[in-house]
Structure 1
Amino acid sequence: MAQSKVSAGLLMYRYEAGTLQVLLAHPGGPYFRKKDEGAWTIPKGEINEGEDAQHAAVREFAEETGLSPDGKLLALTPIKQKGGKVVHAWAVEGTCDPCTLVSNTFTIEWPPKSGRQQTFPEIDRAEFFDLPTAQRKINAAQVALLVELQSILEKEA
């Protein structure tokens, strides 16, 4: 039996005018071009064999955004996405200008069966959203990460 993939990522959050906001990434490439609600995600990626999940989360965040956050990482409960992928996540307080983020790229045959290879960014854009908006935009399985972050921050307040 094939093992399900395991990913790790960071959920960056900030307070803007007293409102909690989270940074979400929109996947790049042709399959997500016209998708919006339910398509966004935390910046994340696969954990390399033998790699610590938290290290992978920080590495993947840097690869997909060009940022290396230095805040305290808050562990969130891993979630399982519809396709079986398990996502380990940490929240980190920070801010950035999403317009300046730089993502790594991937190459696929596009259009399918054309024999042509095209390169696309792993994320084509990122944006800070308030929680109600983020809950509509994010992959449905990742909503639990937003709920848990809000709960943790409310307890700390």
Structure 2
Amino acid sequence: MPATEVLIGHMGGPFWAKKDAAAWSVPKGAVEGTEEPLDAALREFQEETGIAPPPPPYRDLGAERQRSGKTVRLYAVEADVDVEAFRPGTFTMTLRGRTFEVPELDRLRWVGLDEARDLLVVGQRPFLERL
């Protein structure tokens, strides 16, 4: 069954605070050590959203190199994730000599594919065609 909605999160921190278009991302993060990419994706989903990852089966949507030089590998799953359970993870940021905790994502929501094309950062939009 083709996907009709995707779960995306608004990126946290002062740079993204007043932006909406191209300021949303799928929950994602870095592979640690010898971790498998799917294991990293599940861990990062939990860390960024505070929600347990939905059960499999997962579909590998491949990888895309981002403008930053990082490569994002994305997995999809058909699930009903309750966005009301969202509890964002944080990261430490230093800005103008001041260090503080910033949410990795500050909002989480379900959107249709057309809306996702406008909201997602440009480098993640190719994944929508793979759904």
- TM-score computed with the length of structure 2 as normaliser: 0.91
Alignment partners' CA distance in 2, 1:69 and 1:96: 7
For 1:80, the equivalent position in structure 2 comes to 65
For 1:153, the equivalent position in structure 2 comes to none
Alignment partners' CA distance in 1, 2:92 and 2:84: 23
The answer (yes or no) to whether the contact 1:107–1:120 under 8 Å persists in 2 is: yes
Alignment partners' CA distance in 1, 2:81 and 2:33: 30
- Structure 1: 5+ residue runs without aligned partners? 1-13, 150-157
Shift of 1:129: 0.5
Paired residues in the alignment total: 129
Alignment partners' CA distance in 1, 2:130 and 2:50: 26
For 1:36, the equivalent position in structure 2 comes to 20
For 2:56, the equivalent position in structure 1 comes to 71
The answer (yes or no) to whether the contact 1:103–1:121 under 8 Å persists in 2 is: yes
For 2:128, the equivalent position in structure 1 comes to 146
**Residues 104-146 of structure 1, C-alpha deviation per residue, up to 9 Å, x if partnerless?**
1112223x13xx3211111101111000000110011111111
Higher deviation after alignment, 89-98 or 50-59: 89-98
Identity score, percent? 36
Q: Residue 46 of structure 1 is aligned with which of 30, 39, 45?
A: 30
Alignment partners' CA distance in 1, 2:36 and 2:101: 29
For 2:115, the equivalent position in structure 1 comes to 133
Instruction: Tell me whether 1:55 sits opposite 2:33 in the alignment.
Output: no
Alignment partners' CA distance in 2, 1:64 and 1:98: 12
Instruction: Tell me whether 1:107 sits opposite 2:89 in the alignment.
Output: no
Shift of 1:77: 1.7
Shift of 1:23: 0.4
For 2:74, the equivalent position in structure 1 comes to 89
Instruction: Tell me whether 1:118 sits opposite 2:100 in the alignment.
Output: yes
The answer (yes or no) to whether the contact 2:8–2:111 under 8 Å persists in 1 is: yes
Higher deviation after alignment, 129-138 or 25-34: 25-34
Alignment partners' CA distance in 2, 1:23 and 1:54: 17
Shift of 1:80: 0.9
Q: Which runs of 4+ in 1 moved over 3 A?
A: none
- TM-score computed with the length of structure 1 as normaliser: 0.77
RMSD of the TM alignment (CA)?
1.5
Higher strand share: 1
Alignment partners' CA distance in 1, 2:75 and 2:59: 5
